[in-house]
């Protein structure tokens, strides 16, 4: 058989394994909604895989300073066969604060209540966004009242991933008050993520561009947020991307985040505290602990890391019950 024909057949059969379906403009507000602007803007797109079940979900809020732009599916998460959801939300000046925050919460609530019908796993929802969308995502993590309205705990979200968010009160909210504060504005009230000193139970990942090239204030604000969350014991990571501007950091940060998802950075084992078998291995920096598969089964024999079977995930549990992904077979 010719090599070209083999390649065509391989691609054909791969396409059968996980065919993608995109559904656009699904309304996430009540069917009884009467506000014309809400009905126009409060819609979302979904990219899912009809033959795959229990897939993680990435909800991506677009940027645009809370005044412009439209929903777009980020694309990166499809490489992992994750479901992608892209909501629109109301924009200033046609709507004023907290309208866009309320829309973000309602979009997340719609996903929470409906995503299983599309093969999604609501226990593994990522709330993310770029710039103004990252501000919305971070506010959902820090101010619990928005999701609580829908009987959803902010801590039930798997990961909050912020691509260059403003952590003080957003400059558009300040402009609505007649104040020209800019991205570096230091005003902090209940519409600033930094206002909430909360021990978030979800993973939090913060990213900015180069401290000299991203929007003014973004590096300082995100490092403050990182330091505050880290001091509270939150599982938080911060990435600064040297050489990247505000315009370029989103795609670079997203690629890095997806790579970490692929490596299993944010996965942990199901806890099984019965009949623990401890193993020793010099490759485990934290010393003696217990090995689990990602599904929670204990490993009785210490495996050779270089001989792991393809796709098998091993979890290392220390005596302090900290969970870390240590290796994934390639």
Question: What is the structure's pLDDT at 290?
Answer: 52
Which segments in the chain show pLDDT lower than 50?
A: 5-17, 269-289, 294-295, 302-330
Q: How many CA atoms lie within 13 A of 281 on its CB side?
A: 16
pLDDT in tens, 144-203: 999 999 999 999 999 999 999 999 999 999 999 999 999 999 999 999 999 999 999 999
Q: Are strands 236-241 and 323-328 parallel, antiparallel or unpaired?
A: unpaired
Report the SS3 class of residue 325. strand
Element (H, E) at 22: strand 20-27
Which phi and psi angles does 142 have, rounded to 5°? -90, -40
C-beta separation of 314 from 306 below 8 A: no
Domain positions in the chain:
23-263, 269-330
pLDDT in tens, 225-234: 999 999 999 9
Question: What is the structure's pLDDT at 6?
Answer: 47
Which phi and psi angles does 64 have, rounded to 5°? 120, 15
Question: What is the structure's pLDDT at 291?
Answer: 53
Q: Look at residues 247, 204, 249 and name the one whose alpha carbon lies nearest to residue 227.
A: 204
Q: At what angle do helices 132-142 and 99-114 cross, to 10 degrees?
A: 70
Question: What is the structure's pLDDT at 300?
Answer: 52
Write down the CATH number for the domain with range 23-263.
Answer: 3.40.50.1820
**Distance separating alpha carbons of residues 124 and 279, to the nearest angstrom:** 30
**Distance separating alpha carbons of residues 202 and 211, to the nearest angstrom:** 26
Question: What is the structure's pLDDT at 307?
Answer: 38
């Amino acid at each position: 058989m010719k090599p070209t024909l083999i390649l065509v057949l391989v691609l054909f059969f791969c396409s059968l394994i996980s065919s993608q379906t995109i559904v656009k403009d699904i309304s996430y507000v009540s069917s009884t909604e009467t506000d014309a602007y809400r009905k126009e803007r409060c819609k979302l797109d979904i990219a899912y895989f009809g033959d795959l079940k229990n897939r993680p979900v990435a909800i991506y809020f677009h940027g645009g300073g809370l005044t412009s732009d439209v929903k777009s599916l980020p694309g990166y998460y499809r490489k992992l066969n994750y479901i992608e959801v892209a909501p629109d939300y109301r924009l200033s000046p046609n709507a004023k604060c907290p309208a866009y925050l309320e829309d973000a919460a309602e979009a997340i609530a719609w996903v929470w209540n409906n995503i299983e019908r599309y093969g999604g796993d609501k226990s593994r929802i990522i709330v993310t966004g770029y710039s103004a969308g990252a501000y919305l995502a971070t506010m959902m993590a820090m101010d619990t009242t928005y999701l609580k309205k829908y009987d959803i705990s902010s801590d039930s979200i798997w990961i909050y991933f912020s691509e260059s968010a403003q952590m003080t009160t957003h400059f558009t909210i300040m402009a609505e008050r007649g104040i020209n504060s800019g991205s570096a504005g230091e005003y902090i009230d209940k519409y600033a993520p930094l206002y909430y000193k909360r021990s978030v139970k979800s993973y939090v990942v913060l990213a900015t561009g180069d401290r000299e090239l991203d929007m003014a204030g973004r590096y300082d604000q995100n490092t403050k947020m990182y330091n505050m969350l880290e001091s509270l014991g939150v599982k938080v990571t911060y990435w600064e991307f040297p050489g990247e501007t505000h315009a370029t950091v989103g795609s670079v940060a997203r690629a890095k985040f997806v790579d970490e998802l692929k490596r299993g950075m944010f996965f942990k084992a199901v806890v099984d505290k019965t009949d623990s078998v401890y193993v020793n291995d010099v490759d485990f920096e934290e010393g003696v602990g217990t090995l689990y598969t990602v599904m929670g089964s204990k490993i009785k024999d210490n495996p050779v890391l270089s001989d792991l079977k393809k796709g098998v995930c091993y979890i290392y549990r220390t005596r302090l019950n900290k969970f870390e992904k240590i290796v994934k077979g390639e």
